[in-house]
Amino acid sequence: MSRSEHPIVRLCGVSKTYGATHALSDVDFSCFGGEIHAVLGENGAGKSTLMKLVSGVIQPTSGSIEVDNTITRLKGPADAISRGLVCMFQELSLVPDLSVRENLMLGAVGSGLGRLDTGVVQRAQNTLAQIDGGGIGMRTRVADLTLAERQQVEIAKALTRDPKLLILDEATSALNASVVEKVFRLIREERDRGVGVLFISHRFHEIETLADRVSIFRNGTHVETFDNGAYDYGAIISKMVGQRIDDLFPAKPSTAPDAEEVLRLDGFGWANSLKDVSIVLRKGQITGLGGLDGQGQGDVLQGLFGLLKGTEGRCIVAGTPVSITHPKQAKNPKLGIALVPEDRKTEGLILDQSIARNLELAALGTDGINASDPAIYQPFLDALELKCDSLDQPVTELSGGNQQKVALTKWLALGPRCMLLADPTRGIDVKTKTQIYALLRRLADSGVAILLVSTDYEELIHLCDETHIFYQGRVARHLTGRDVTAEAIIGASLNIPSSAETSEVANA
């Protein structure tokens, strides 16, 4: 595993912004041939943006990309592939309605204008046979394959492209351990032939066994690159975490672990996404749900709001076992459950309608509430300091933060017993965040039970009274009090044994 002299790809002062958000700022980064380079970072740290830049999917806002020591503008994925930069994306890039064979030939080297190279298929079959994918029929529709089989096909497809730099973005997330080991053997063979590999994974042990070098990203910046093994888990995690802000959050009152139960989930499950989840929400408490994206946290909220069919386990609201099958039932004052969904633009609000109409929509038709009375919304709008010309203004004209205030108020006016919030502060400016945090704390103090899904561990630490961290549909760890630390949250998110055990692993 001799590393090439010159980097295959080098990023110099690269930034990428989407509107006001900086996905990457001023990043210098190189990857060499003959080396497996792992990239680590939290959700939103900029890993995927980096991959998309290198594979030509997006262009940098500023800065330059050098391929083989010459400054290059990658015009698109096809251009990148022709230069040997081959990416296997986590959002699988196979066409579901085509057969495996057709997918392998799609855009293969040397094909075009109807000329199809069937040699590609033979080589892909050989590769598949090496990674336990020999049983995948070439004529099978991709849509009929399992997620794991699709990933195997993706890997085989990427390797048929003769990469100089192979980019694997969560390439093994659906594969089981024995297949992963075979994929790794294949990747090492590629490396030994001089191919560079960029590897993104949330599985720490995979990075530990595979990587030669590790780079850490945080909030769109490149923190550090070091040889694998230079730091232990704890050090790596604190590099991923960075610094914190304290006064963003309202003071936490002393916890009352014996407060009245508002809602209890016992052995809650749904299909394959959620298994044996037990959570208790108490009066006046803010309970956080954390973890990496899509580990089942969001499904808990949806299940509680009656959006999932066929859930298992028991749900007890105010002492009565209930089965919630429809949002209309959930919002009924008898249950008093409200959900502020994750995507305010398509789920939480009707952007083309006025603020007033949006506010009324949840309250309309609810017993004992006069939806057309502005007085029921005003206290919350005042508390959140909604900025608007009038309530007749279309919601689409408001800023993201103000939109979220409308989405919150719409439900607060119902006086819910239990608020479910899906990442309510995502993409929102700091000032609005503090207003929302303060309001949530005040609501909790007034007796509302709050269940908050967050991708921001600062919220889990400083806002929530207790936190459940999800991993693959299960509660990986339940953290309370002083145990709620950034290290513990990230460790649990990656399903690494808790800190005491970590040091043992590190010493072993």
CB of residue 350 to another protein, shortest distance in Å: 5
Positions 196 through 215 that interact with another protein (CB under 8 A): none
Among 3, 123, 182, 357, binds another protein (CB under 8 A): 357
CB of residue 306 to another protein, shortest distance in Å: 9
Q: How far is CA 397 from the centre of its chain?
A: 28
CB of residue 428 to another protein, shortest distance in Å: 19
Ramachandran angles phi, psi of 31, nearest 5°: -130, 140
Among 348, 401, 424, 491, binds another protein (CB under 8 A): 348
Angle 127-129-134 from CA coordinates, rounded to 5°: 125
Question: Do the beta carbons of residue 197 and residue 191 sit within 8 Å?
Answer: yes
Ramachandran angles phi, psi of 317, nearest 5°: -110, 125
Q: Is residue 378 at the binding interface for another protein, with CB under 8 A as the rule?
A: no
Nearest to 289 by CA among 408, 423, 445: 423
Positions 160 through 189 that interact with another protein (CB under 8 A): none
* Torsion sign over Cα 198, 202, 204, 209: negative
CB of residue 464 to another protein, shortest distance in Å: 24
Nearest to 323 by CA among 266, 281, 363, 274: 266
Q: Is residue 136 at the binding interface for another protein, with CB under 8 A as the rule?
A: no
229 dihedral zone (left: phi>0; alpha: psi -120 to 50; beta): left
Minimum CB distance to another protein smaller for 31 or for 301: 301
Q: Is residue 391 at the binding interface for another protein, with CB under 8 A as the rule?
A: yes
Minimum CB distance to another protein smaller for 96 or for 365: 365
Instruction: Tell me the C-alpha to C-alpha distance, in Å, between residue 404 and each of 179, 249, 338, 401, 450.
Output: 44, 18, 15, 5, 17
Task: Using the structure block, give the residue that is written with the tokens 């094909």.
Answer: 111
Nearest to 153 by CA among 187, 183, 181: 183
Among 354, 409, 493, 502, binds another protein (CB under 8 A): 354
Minimum CB distance to another protein smaller for 221 or for 366: 366
Q: How far is CA 270 from the centre of its chain?
A: 20
In terms of Cβ atoms closer than 10 Å to its own Cβ (0-12, 13-18, 19+), residue 5 is exposed
Among 98, 350, 438, 505, binds another protein (CB under 8 A): 350
Q: Is residue 365 at the binding interface for another protein, with CB under 8 A as the rule?
A: yes
Q: Is residue 366 at the binding interface for another protein, with CB under 8 A as the rule?
A: yes
Among 85, 324, 349, 479, binds another protein (CB under 8 A): 349
Minimum CB distance to another protein smaller for 370 or for 480: 370
What's the number of CA atoms in the CB half-sphere (13 Å) around residue 288? 30
For residue 389 the two structure tokens come to 């010309």
Nearest to 173 by CA among 154, 190, 160: 154
Q: Is residue 397 at the binding interface for another protein, with CB under 8 A as the rule?
A: no
CB of residue 330 to another protein, shortest distance in Å: 7
Minimum CB distance to another protein smaller for 173 or for 366: 366
Q: Is residue 404 at the binding interface for another protein, with CB under 8 A as the rule?
A: no
Site string for another protein, 408-437 (x = CB under 8 A): --x---------------------------
CB of residue 338 to another protein, shortest distance in Å: 9
Choices 45-53, 71-79, 370-378, 477-485 (CB under 8 A): range interacting with another protein: 370-378
Site string for another protein, 300-339 (x = CB under 8 A): -----x-x------------------xxx-xx-------x
Q: Is residue 58 at the binding interface for another protein, with CB under 8 A as the rule?
A: no
CB of residue 331 to another protein, shortest distance in Å: 4
In whole angstroms, give the CA distance from residue 341 to residue 330.
14
Q: Is residue 360 at the binding interface for another protein, with CB under 8 A as the rule?
A: yes
Q: Is residue 374 at the binding interface for another protein, with CB under 8 A as the rule?
A: yes
In whole angstroms, give the CA distance from residue 442 to residue 350.
27
Minimum CB distance to another protein smaller for 330 or for 418: 330
Edge-first strand order for the sheet with 221-227 is: 85-88, 165-169, 196-200, 36-41, 213-218, 221-227
Ramachandran angles phi, psi of 191, nearest 5°: -60, -45
Task: Using the structure block, give the residue that is written with the tokens 């608020």.
Answer: 419
CB of residue 354 to another protein, shortest distance in Å: 7
Minimum CB distance to another protein smaller for 327 or for 400: 327
Ramachandran angles phi, psi of 255, nearest 5°: -75, 145
Q: Is residue 361 at the binding interface for another protein, with CB under 8 A as the rule?
A: yes
Nearest to 319 by CA among 303, 334, 297, 338: 334
Minimum CB distance to another protein smaller for 210 or for 420: 420
Residues in contact with another protein by the rule CB under 8 A: 305, 307, 326-328, 330-331, 339, 341, 346-354, 356-357, 360-362, 364-366, 371-374, 391-392, 410
